[in-house]
Structure 1
Amino acid sequence: MPEPIRLYVRYVDAVGYRVGRFAMYLIFPMGAILLYSTVMRVFFGYPVNWVMEMSQFMLSAYYLLGGAYSLQIDAHVRMDLFYSMMSPRRRAMTDAFTILFVIFYLAVLFRAGVSSTEYSITYAQKNYTAWAPPLWPIKTIMTFGIFLMLLQSISTFFKNVAEARGKSLA
């Protein structure tokens, strides 16, 4: 594979790894938020109205920022009816073909995410709840996570093509 593709794969994998490892730790603040809510409600009789939305925002950031990392380490779900019977080279060719559908889907999703984020910033969009948080921060994080998954999918495509050709890009 040409050197620019090798550099692309190396840098995208490095960024996806670091962001994914960071995202792993978002489970702790989310747990702390939920624990705070439970303590306030059970022991003090004071319900906290922002906790459910904040935990949903944290969970969204958790799985969208971790998506590129899970794709990188091949931790996603795969239908393994015929796949396990294929040779490694045939698997790579199958993966190179099917990842094109993922890339198309993520490109469309990314475009919609950019549009939605622009809208939320332009019109100061807020959620329709009692807490009414602004939506642009979570939409920005979600769009960034989708973008990282798109970049990682392209990197995976390059790795699959190299493997199908009997070479390694790693």
Structure 2
Amino acid sequence: MPNVIKSYVKGVDALNRFTGLVTMHLIFVMIGLLLYSSISRTLFDTPINSVVTISQFLMSAYYLLGGGFSMQEDAHVRMDLFYSRWSPKGKAKADSFTSIFLVFYLVVLLIGAISSTMYTIEVGQKTRTLVPYPLTPIKVLMTLGVFLMLLQATSAFFKDLAKARGVTL
């Protein structure tokens, strides 16, 4: 494999690893927020109306920004009827073939995410809740998460292609 591809794979893997490791801590923020809300509602009878909305934003950021890291760690769900019986080269060939469809899907998803984000920015779209929060931050994170997954999918494609050829990246 050319050095430019090796550098790309190394850079994308490092970026998604860093993003995933930082993002995984959002779950603790969300748990703390929900715990605080539960305690304030139960003990002090002062419900916080915005908790559900903020928790949804945090959860969206959590799974969107963690997608590339999940793909890198091979932690996603896979339908495994025959796959586990194949040789590593056979798996790599199948993965590189299916990666083409994944990249196509992520490109279409990225186009939609960019369009949705631009619309939100232009219109100043807000949530339809008691407190109208702007949707721009979560839409930007959505677009960034899809972009990071697209980068990771192409990185995985190059790694699988190299593995199918008997080379390790």
**Could you state the TM-score of these two structures normalised by the residue count of structure 2?**
0.98
Counterpart CA distance in 1 for 2:159 and 2:14 is 14
Q: Report the AA paired with residue 47 of structure 2.
A: P
Partner Cα separation in structure 2 for residue 85 and residue 27 of structure 1:
36
Partner residue in 2 for 1:124: 124
Q: Hey, what does 1:75 align to over in structure 2?
A: 75
Structure 2 distance, partners of 1:127, 1:116, is 14
Q: Deviations over 1:52-100 (max 9, x none)?
A: 0110110111111111001001111111100011111010000001111
Measured in 1, the distance between the counterparts of 2:32 and 2:131 equals 19
Aligned match of 1:139: 139
- Counterparts of 2:143 and 2:123 in 1: how far apart (Å)? 18
**How far off is 1:102 after superposition?**
1.1
For residues 42 and 104 of structure 2, what CA distance do their matches in structure 1 show? Answer: 47
1:115 aligns with 2:115: yes
The equivalent residue for 2:39 is 39
Give the whole-Å Cα distance in 1 for the aligned partners of 2:152 and 2:14: 10
CA-to-aligned-CA distance 1:81-127 (integer Å, 9 cap, x gap) = 00011111010000001111111111111111111111111111001
Sequence identity percentage: 53
**Paired residues, number:** 169
- Alignment deviations for residues 140-167 of structure 1 (CA, whole Å, 9 cap, x no partner): 0111011000000000000000000000
Equivalent residue number for residue 12 of structure 1: 12
Shift of 1:138: 0.5
For 1:96, the equivalent position in structure 2 comes to: 96
Please give the secondary structure, in 1, of the residue aligned with 2:76. coil
Q: Secondary structure at the match of 1:80?
A: coil
Q: Which residue matches 1:58?
A: 58
- TM-score normalised by structure 1 residue count: 0.98
Gapped runs of 5+ residues in structure 2?
A: none
**What 5-or-longer segments of structure 1 have no aligned partner?**
none
SS state of the match for residue 63, structure 1?
A: helix
What is the rounded CA distance, in whole Å, between the counterparts of 2:102 and 2:61 in structure 1? 20
Partner deviation per Cα, 1:19-56 (whole Å, 9 max, x = no partner): 00001101111011101110111011111110001101
Aligned partner letter, 1:26: L
Which one-letter code corresponds to 2:35 in the other structure?
Answer: L
* 1:129 to partner: Cα distance: 1.1
For residues 121 and 98 of structure 1, what CA distance do their matches in structure 2 show?
A: 34
